[in-house]
């Protein structure tokens, strides 16, 4: 038998625990059961998250989230030694919120939504079975679990753009002449570009991940923790801008002998490591005395009994969403749709057997058509039209998903200049310049339920709504491209659309009719 002194525990001043460590063992049991139940019902989502941890450098920190979470809970074992799990029905509302996000993401094939939904359901389930007092005591370890949700890629375009702007501005202030074109810029002795690895998103996520843990362990004041987290948010962004500038300057001053190969990445990570060490060293100056973790928290109501009946509705709610998703989007057998490309206008002709110089990366389609068109009257580069039809979309057969896009097929070294809206005879489309094995003007648009669309989030939202309403999700993507050696590519593409608008609409209607089986 063990005793713990409390000022007002009972009339004798002593609170007696008859089962040493019993409540903590029940906490561990609850955590294991919830994890097993959630992973079991949402296996595909959990496996997708784990694969991103393993395969993506951006989200590799996810591999240590669960071990760190286990250590944080173990570290607090004496603090929560007297707190038994007291399930509460009200936290099921959080589970419902996460489930709705998950099923919406599943319907729209938005991985970020399904990942976040599973994370929210996991936290809500743990809180439901542990109760308010234990959830508050374990607040940081539980919130820390959300670092396992692989999210943040949506920041890439903006961070790449800001990095390019800062680098160019700093180079000009240093007296280096620079010509900028989107994310690419040219200095007198070389060409540079800001790619995904230069965006700083990895530095930012790593800094917030480690910084939150450092702030929690080093400070007891909420104000200090907040200030340090703000620093952990701002410092890596500024550091990445400076890093990009210094690498270009190093290459420029050394005649491109330094910082242009593997050492480019090495310098970047070494620089980031030094910056983070300086950040932590600065934070040590304001460290608080360590919290006393040996004094157990007194139960708010020692006589309250656990209502484990809450576990049944919780289990049913968690199981309901995958079953509902199965009814909304049942697995469909593989099938293919054959359709013909748009008929060439009178002043154009289809070049039989011609191989396009540029082809976008799209997979999972039900049907695909591509053709090379040449002008009958003008001596100009040809125009290539790629179109793909998607229907009964799901895992592996989604139009807007990771990996599908304008990056050339098999072309990892391609550079894309940010897109801009372009008005054509078909409506507003996206126009970009792509540098790969050449320079190409490229136009892309989607057709969903007869509407021409360009914004991927809007395409996702409309497809999700159509599927939830039981409507066909048959849709198409069109990519039109031409070599831009003479910088007249955009005018050639616009003229092609003007000549073929009706033919393209007719081909679209035929293809979508075939896709609605």
Q: pLDDT of 302-354, one tens digit each?
A: 778 888 899 999 999 999 999 988 777 655 555 677 777 888 888 999 998 78
Tokens matching residue 430: 């996206």
pLDDT tops 60 at residue 259: no
Q: Per-domain residue ranges for the chain?
A: 2-150+298-328, 154-286, 348-515
How confident is the model over 150-170, as a mean pLDDT? 84
Residue 103 to residue 207: CA distance in whole angstroms: 31
Tokens matching residue 253: 């001053």
Tokens matching residue 220: 């007891």
The per-residue pLDDT for 2 is: 41
Compute the chain's Rg from CA coordinates.
Answer: 29
pLDDT tops 90 at residue 187: no
Residue among 208, 221, 171 nearest 65 (CA): 208
Expressed in angstroms, the distance from the first to the final Cα of the chain is 71
Tokens matching residue 8: 């007002």
Q: How sure is the predictor about 159, in pLDDT bands with cuts at 50, 70 and 90? A: confident
* Mean pLDDT of all residues belonging to the chain: 83
Contact 479, 443 (CB under 8 A): yes
Query: Which residues lie below 8 Å from residue 494, measured CB to CB, with a gap of 6+?
Result: 422, 424
Q: pTM score, two decimals?
A: 0.72
Tokens matching residue 29: 């049991």
Going from the C-alpha of 483 to that of each of 251, 358, 417, the distances in angstroms are 30, 9, 15
The per-residue pLDDT for 14 is: 41
How confident is the model over 386-401, as a mean pLDDT? 84
DSSP character string of 84-153: -----GGGHHHHHHHHHHHHHHHHHT-HHHHHHHHHHHHHHHHHHHH-HHHHHHTHHHHHHGGGGS---G
pLDDT digits (tens, 9 = 90+) for 213-225: 999 999 988 899 9
Query: Which residues lie below 8 Å from residue 183, measured CB to CB, with a gap of 6+?
Result: 160, 161, 164, 193, 194, 195, 415, 416, 417, 418
Contact 190, 247 (CB under 8 A): no
% of the chain residues with pLDDT over 70: 86
Q: Is 197 exposed, middle or buried (0-12, 13-18, 19+ CB in 10 A)?
A: middle
Q: How sure is the predictor about 239, in pLDDT bands with cuts at 50, 70 and 90? A: confident
pLDDT tops 50 at residue 299: yes
pLDDT digits (tens, 9 = 90+) for 8-61: 444 444 444 445 456 788 999 999 999 999 999 999 899 989 998 988 878 889
Q: What share of the chain is helix, strand, coil (3-state, %, to 5)?
A: 50, 15, 30
What count of residues does the chain have? Answer: 517
pLDDT tops 90 at residue 63: yes
Q: How sure is the predictor about 428, in pLDDT bands with cuts at 50, 70 and 90? A: confident
- C-beta neighbour count of 158 within 10 angstroms: 11
């Amino acid at each position: 038998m063990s005793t713990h002194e409390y000022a007002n525990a009972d009339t004798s001043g002593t609170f007696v625990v008859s089962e040493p460590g019993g409540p903590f063992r029940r906490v561990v049991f609850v955590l294991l059961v919830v994890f097993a139940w959630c992973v079991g019902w949402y296996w595909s989502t959990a496996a997708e998250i784990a694969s991103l941890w393993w395969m993506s450098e951006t989200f590799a920190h996810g591999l240590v989230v669960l071990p760190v979470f286990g250590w944080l809970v173990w570290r607090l074992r004496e603090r929560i030694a007297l707190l038994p799990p007291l399930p509460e029905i009200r936290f099921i509302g959080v589970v419902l919120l996460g489930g709705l996000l998950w099923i919406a993401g599943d319907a729209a094939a938005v991985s970020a939504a399904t990942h976040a939904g599973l994370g929210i359901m996991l936290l809500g389930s743990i809180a439901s079975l542990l109760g308010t007092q234990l959830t508050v005591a374990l607040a940081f370890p539980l919130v820390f679990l959300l670092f396992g949700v692989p999210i943040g890629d949506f920041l890439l375009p903006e961070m790449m753009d800001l990095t390019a702007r800062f680098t160019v501005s700093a180079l000009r202030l240093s007296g280096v002449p620079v010509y900028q074109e989107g994310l690419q810029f040219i200095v007198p002795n070389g060409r540079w570009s800001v790619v995904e690895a230069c965006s700083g998103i990895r530095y930012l996520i790593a800094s917030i991940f480690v910084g939150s843990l450092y702030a929690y362990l080093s400070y007891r004041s909420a104000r200090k923790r907040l200030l340090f987290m703000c620093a952990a948010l701002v410092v890596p962004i500024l550091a990445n801008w400076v890093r990009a500038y210094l690498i270009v300057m190093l290459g420029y001053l050394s005649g491109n002998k330094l910082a242009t190969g593997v050492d480019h990445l090495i310098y970047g990570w070494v620089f980031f490591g030094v910056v983070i060490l300086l950040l932590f060293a600065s934070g040590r100056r304001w460290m608080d005395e360590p919290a006393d973790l040996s004094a157990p928290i007194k139960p708010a109501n020692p006589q309250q009994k656990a209502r484990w009946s809450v576990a049944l509705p919780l289990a049913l709610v968690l199981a309901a969403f995958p079953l509902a998703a199965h009814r909304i989007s049942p697995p469909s057998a593989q099938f293919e749709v054959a359709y013909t490309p748009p008929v060439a206008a009178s002043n154009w002709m289809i070049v039989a057997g011609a191989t396009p110089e540029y082809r976008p990366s799209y997979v999972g389609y039900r049907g695909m058509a591509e053709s090379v068109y040449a002008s009958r009257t003008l001596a100009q580069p040809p125009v290539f039209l790629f179109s793909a039809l998607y229907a009964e979309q799901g895992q592996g057969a989604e139009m807007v998903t990771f990996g599908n896009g304008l990056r050339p097929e098999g072309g990892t070294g391609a550079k894309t200049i940010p897109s801009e809206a372009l008005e054509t005879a078909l409506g507003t489309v996206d126009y970009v310049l792509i540098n790969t094995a050449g320079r190409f003007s490229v136009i892309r648009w989607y057709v969903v339920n007869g509407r021409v669309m360009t914004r991927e989030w809007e395409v996702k939202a409309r497809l999700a709504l159509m599927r939830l309403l039981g409507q066909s999700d048959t849709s198409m993507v069109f990519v039109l491209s031409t070599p831009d050696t003479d910088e007249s590519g955009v005018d050639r593409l616009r003229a092609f659309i003007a000549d073929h608008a009706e033919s393209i609409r007719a081909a679209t209607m035929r293809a979508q009719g075939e896709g609605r089986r």
